Structure 1
Amino acid sequence: MTAGDLDTTFGTSGTTTVNFGQTSIANALAIQSNDKLVLAGRVGPVATGDWGIARLKKDGALDPSFGSSGLVTINFTTEEDVARAVAIDSSGNIVVGGFVGSEPAGAIAFARLTSSGALDTTFGSGGTVTYRIDPTLGNAVRALVIDSSGNILGAGIAGANPGLIRITSTGALDTTFAGGAGKESVAIGASGHLFALALLSSGKFVVAGFDATGTTTQDDFLVAQFTSTGSLDSTFGTSGSGFTDTDFNSLNDLSFAVGLQSTGKIVLGGDTDSTDAFGISGDAKAGWTRYSTSGALDTTFGTSGKTQINPTLVGDGVRGIVIDSSDRVVSAGFIGEATDLASFADPVAGSFGVYRLTSSGAADTSFGAAGVGWVRTTFANGGDGGRAVGLQSSGKIVVVGGATTGTPSQLNFAAARYLS
């Protein structure tokens, strides 16, 4: 068996899907200390969907001790409600974040579930909280982390700007953050968008996304660092700005994932060389960059700080990153999406894509039977796409997202496990 092969002891020959009875897709993954897998995403049509959370046993079977036969749905509004992030706190509770009431005009929301899948009534109001940063435009959490004090930090959007929010373990706004407000809209660059978040041991945190640099028609990878209280960190980035933008080839480059290596260096991943600003068209390639702890592009990584992998002549990209014990960059996303994936749109025609780079940014030739550093998994020849990746205690690689299966075909939560 080769690293990158499907692990046939997981699910059915290495893959599994979860059917909520209607269209669904997993956007996020958290792995419990017992290697159970918690998937969070959307259940139902885009315009009227609800939050969906599923828990799988270590081997990929639905966990009947969680929710209703392994499934939980949370209905906030009659409009679009989507879970985009999930984490496990120190008590084993499950914290989920996202948005409710549509991304263009909705609110940030968090929910906390007990380990059995019930809403935790000690959190917020009956287990959920909602907040607005921008009073009229859309607000959303796209990534979250839980710090050593149990505070929940979220990053995403607040109207036209990036949004940050920190709440306490009870769901109240953290008055030690953002000048006492607990939430803020922060302008980063010309038009920054945030999709990923990582917490540093110092209490500072880094965010990743993309920025329209000098024009609204070209986006570049964006990495920014904030102090523990929510201010852009003047010790980081270009000329003390707190952020760094990176262009690949004068086309649109969209970062959706971030990982921290043991040295503290910061790795971003996403879609590169799209011919439009939303990542919809062109021969988009999976791409990565690495930065020093001060935010400078690390030219010892890949080729002058950048790596691209291009399995097909249509859309290939990255949605999640995890760093393994050898500092290799393990990434999940999609391969061969005919129309690419604008942001986190539902997959149409592609496959799960799993990529592994060496610690220095080269395609890992020990990964995948073809020795190219990537593998492609198709479930049933419909639209499949990976959204998040994690490592179980064995080092095995778990990717979650959506897969179109069944008769009639339907997009479902999906997971696959790979040998490491």
Structure 2
Amino acid sequence: MRGWSDPHPENSTIEGEKMKQTRQVQVWLVVFFLVFWMDIDAGQATTQLDVSFGQNGFVVKDFGSGEDEIFAVAPQTDGKIVVVGEYDNGAVKNLAVARYLPTGELDRGFSDDGIFTHSIGSGDTKARSVAIQGDGKIVVAGSADDGQNNIVLVRLTAEGLLDNTFAASGQRLLPITDGDADAHAVRVTAEGAILVAGTVVKSGDAGTYGLVAKVAADGQPDTSFGNAGVSLLQYEYDVEIRSLALQADGKMVAAGSFAPNDTAQAGLLRLNQNGSIDTQFGQNGRSLLALTGSGSIVHGVALDPDGNLYVVGDVNNGSFHETFVAALTQDGVLDPEFGGSGIYRSPLTAENVGQAITMDEAGNLLIAGFATTENGKDVFLLTIGKETATHETATDETASSEATVANSAATVKTVFPGDTAATDNTAAAEEGEVSIDLITADLANTTDVGNALTVMPDGTVFVAGATGLDGNRDFALLRFIAEAATSAATGSASDGRGVSTAGYTLLTRRITEITRVGAKSGGTITDFGTQQCADACTATCSTDADPATCFTTCFATCELPTVTQRGVVFGIASKPVFRTEGTDTDTDTDTDTDTDTDTTTDTTTDTTSIANRVLQATDDEVFTFPDSETFTFDIVESGQTEDGSGTGSFGSIIQGITPNTVYFVRAYALLSDGTVIYGNEHTFRTDDACFIATAAFGSILDNHVTVLREFRDKVMMAGRFGQRLVGAYYQLSPRIADLIEKYEVLRSIARVILIPFVLMAYFILKTGLLVKVCVLTAFIGLWPLRSRIM
């Protein structure tokens, strides 16, 4: 209405102020939300590796806020894995040794919950190499800085404690008076002596030289070696020693770089048993590799059974560093049967560095390192097959020194946490080309590096290094299955020889399709006894007057009992056994000569499949899950499947088991005489039980899920009430998660619902006291304002 005016103009002013204040509150809430969202989402990893090991194929150990890294790895005869490196405690770096079980968990029986740490002097103490003695003791080589860097040897008992029978309280310093020294390699001789190789940087930056030192088993210098136990590899130019190999005859091959023309050149030299230069090797004891580029170095060296040498390193091609692999005869001469020239160079078009090399029982070369990709640095595992390494042809330009295979068909595969198979990015090798398998593993979308590797008797490969998964470098140990040279997929139908006993060979299939509550396995049963029996009878009756009748009579006496039931047994303890209905215990008698070859004598013929046995948590006891504190939850202790009868291959579905729990599995066969025989054993861990969050965000490695899991472990599990809530959640969550996982709209809704919980968990776990005080103060200040607005 014209001429109308508000009789109370102050109301409009008040309303305007309220709207302005409301908008300010909304803006600050949006900014707060976005900051936390972006912080949480940064660096998100998306997928997985070999799911039967650790968490999605790899394990990560974060010591804190500093930079931690593995530099060497060694297997024990019992299948456990020892890694050494360094961790940053915020002030200095400490030497660190960790031991892992075959399943990826830290071995709690080793040192302090699986990890030994040590510091010498006031500065950094680092580990760079490790060797396992025949008695199980662990020898670690590295350096200690107490004003000057000195090489240090530390020996631990098999239990992870300092070995007081070695030198002074388990450690030996090799003082160098003219510079800073670092150890890069350690080896143990057949007699128990210890060899360590490294590099000395002379004081005042006056150059570098190499050294190899030898100490006796008690840690005292071996004065018969070199000069008072040390062989100095000094030339008129710089020398660096990065690796050491021990020949069967006791001679040593040291590898690294030599700079006769002021440019580092990859090379090797050989020492006699007494530490003197072996002039019969290469040219006057040295073999330098003529690589095209502006500098090169060897990082690792390996020997085959014939004494031939294989080295890996990197060369600067003018644009970036690239991996090379070279083969030399035992005399230090390039082997032209390897690729036509003796040298292979990586065809990758960005920086890639091979750090370590080994050989499997089939003669294939395995190389670990890192390659630069669009997501940063990724771990790589390179395999050069023994049967294809000789197919490379050198170009005319470099035929005398190297073969560059930029045009060869290297099979490049990339795997991510979550993948069950590698993606082949290139065509297969054509006839006459080198068939190279290269797997790059992206763990964190940031920096992942492989520094060391080892191969187990069954072909399983462990690669050790570091990952930036948690924002800073942390210990990382990856496992590739036996086929890792060509694939990162799990689920092969076999694993080696299986177990032969009672006339049958049982082969347990690898574990596949692992879920939170189930997995698939199976086995193959082969009858070798019948033919063996027939051959024996034929030989026995060959001189009989009536061979046919003799054979019939003989064969009838050694006929095998039949397989009346087959399947797999599984349990939370090693060597699970078959149980008949109503039976709690079994007689487990080891009567076979092969590893893990026991037979169970069962006194009944009841072959009814037994339901999973469950451990019930009571008010007075709780059970421990591998990656968290204890909480109340029912654990399926053991069980078995029934999958027909007779010989041949069969599949088994394991179901109704406990989330995030390690299980041992082996195939079994119940024979007609009541004997139960078993195959080889596999282990796996079911998926983690952060069900709804994992289903909503799509991966257990999603940082939203990681934050919630950490909140579960550090906050919820700290008290009995929280443990009860977690137990109840784990009981109810799977069905809801399965439904959410099927529909994108439900995943979106679940994400929206979970975001406040993620923000709360992140705020509690990741922010410092000052931030907490500021946010709470702001909240308290805004609350009265909210009341006035309302």
Give the TM-score, by structure 1 length: 0.88
Match of 1:32 in 2: 76
Indicate the residue corresponding to 2:120 in structure 1.
Answer: 76
Residue 196 of structure 1 is matched in structure 2 by 243
Aligned partner of 1:328 among 342, 364, 372: 364
Partner of 1:343: none
Work out whether 1:230 is the aligned partner of 2:275. Answer: yes
Aligned to 2:215: 167
Q: Compared with structure 1, are the counterparts of its residues 188 and 224 closer, same or farther at alpha carbon in structure 2 (3 Å cutoff)?
A: farther
Structure 1 residues 287 and 62: CA distance shift in structure 2, 3 A:
same
Residue in structure 2 matched with residue 342 of structure 1 by the alignment: none
Q: Aligned partners of 1:89 and 1:364: how far apart in 2? A: 41
- CA–CA distance in 2 between the matches of 1:113 and 1:309? 39
Matched, 1:304 2:341: yes
**Residue type of the alignment partner of 1:350:** K
> Secondary structure at the residue paired with 2:376?
coil
Q: Shift of residue 337 of structure 1?
A: 7.2
Quick check: 2:231–2:276 contact (8 Å CA) kept in 1? no
CA contact (8 A) 1:94 1:112 kept: yes
Q: Which has the higher strand share?
A: 1
Report what 1:379 is aligned to: 443
Task: Map Cα deviations across residues 333-353 of structure 1 (whole Å, 9 max, x no partner).
Answer: 111179xxxxxxxxx931111
Give the CA deviation at 1:186. Answer: 1.5
**Cα deviation, residue 7, structure 1:** 2.5
**Does structure 1 retain, via aligned residues, the 8 Å contact 2:361–2:457?**
no
Q: 1:95–1:112: 8 Å Cα contact kept in structure 2?
A: yes
Whole-Å separation in 2 of the counterparts to 1:388 and 1:192: 22
Distance 1:273 1:301 in 2: 22
> In the alignment, is residue 152 of structure 1 matched against residue 214 of structure 2?
no
1:169, distance to aligned residue in structure 2 (A): 0.9
Distance 1:312 1:46 in 2: 37
394-403 vs 39-48, which moves further:
39-48
Q: What is the CA distance between 1:270 and its match in structure 2?
A: 0.9
Spell out the pairing of 1:15-414 with structure 2 (5 A cutoff): 15-21=58-64, 22-44=66-88, 48-101=92-145, 105-132=148-175, 134-158=176-200, 159=202, 160-179=208-227, 181-187=228-234, 190-214=237-261, 216=262, 218-238=263-283, 241-275=284-318, 282-313=319-350, 315-336=351-372, 349-359=376-386, 360=389, 368=413, 369=422, 370=424, 372-406=436-470, 409-414=471-476
CA distance in 1, matches of 2:120, 2:286: 35
- Identity of counterpart residues, as a percentage? 25
Q: Which amino acid aligns with 2:196?
A: G
The structural deviation recorded for 1:77 is 2.2
Deviation for aligned residue 1:298: 1.3
Q: Which runs of 5+ in 1 are unaligned?
A: 276-281, 339-347
Q: Which amino acid aligns with 2:478?
A: A
* Higher relative helix content: 2
Instruction: Output the CA distance in 1 between the equivalents of 2:317 and 2:53.
Output: 35
Alpha-carbon contact 1:157-1:193 (below 8 Å) kept: yes
Label 1:45 to 1:26 Cα distance change in 2 as closer, same or farther (>3 A). Answer: same
Q: Distance in 1 between matches of 2:358 and 2:236?
A: 27
Cα distance in 1 for residues equivalent to 2:341 and 2:469: 41
Give the deviation of 1:365 after TM superposition: 6.2
Q: Is the 8 A contact 1:151 1:169 kept in 2?
A: yes
Distance 1:306 1:162, change over 3 A: same
Give the SS at the match of 1:373. Answer: strand
- What whole-Å deviation, never above 9, does each CA across 1:100-139 have from its counterpart, x for those lacking one? 108x94111011111111111111111111012x303011
Cα distance between partner residues in 1 of 2:410 and 2:317: 26
**Does the Cα contact within 8 Å between 2:196 and 2:214 map onto a contact in 1?**
yes
Residues 124/337 of structure 1: CA separation in 2 closer, same or farther (3 Å cut): farther
Aligned partner letter, 2:382: Y
Q: 1:320 to 1:212 in 2, by over 3 A?
A: same
The structure number with the bigger radius of gyration is 2
Distance 1:30 1:283, change over 3 A: same
**CA distance in structure 2 between the partners assigned to 1:84 and 1:382 by the alignment:** 23
Per-residue CA shift, 1:227-278, capped at 9, x if unaligned?
Answer: 011111011112xx10111122132111100011222110110112354xxx
Q: 2-side partners of 1:152 and 1:188: how far apart?
A: 25
Which range moves more in the overlay, 329-338 or 84-93? 329-338
Higher relative contact order (CA closer than 8 Å, sequence separation 6+): 1
**Cα distance change, pair 47–293 in 1 and its aligned pair in 2 (3 A):** farther
Counterpart of 1:59 in structure 2: which amino acid? T
Q: Distance in 1 between matches of 2:409 and 2:452?
A: 20
Taking the aligned partners of 1:273 and 1:288, their CA distance within structure 2 comes to: 14
Q: What is the CA distance between 1:357 and its match in structure 2?
A: 0.8
CA RMSD, 1 decimal:
2.2
Separation of aligned partners in 2, 1:364 and 1:71: 43
Q: Is the 8 A contact 2:292 2:317 kept in 1?
A: no
Q: Answer yes or no: is the 8 Å Cα contact 1:139–1:163 preserved in 2.
A: no
Give 1:412 deviation, angstroms. Answer: 0.7
In 1, distance between residues paired with 2:192 and 2:409?
37
Question: What is the distance in 2 between the residues matched to 1:147 and 1:237?
Answer: 24
User: Could you tell me which residue of structure 2 aligns to residue 417 of structure 1?
Assistant: 479
CA distance in 1, matches of 2:59, 2:181: 32
8 Å CA contact 2:71, 2:465 repeated in 1: yes
Q: CA deviation at 1:366?
A: 7.6
How far residue 47 of structure 1 moved from its aligned partner, in angstroms, is 7.7
Alignment partners' CA distance in 2, 1:364 and 1:52: 40
Task: With the length of structure 2 as denominator, give the TM-score of the two structures.
Answer: 0.48
- Residue-by-residue CA offset, 1:190-210 (whole Å, 9 max, x unaligned): 322110111001000111111
Shift in Å, 1:378: 1.4
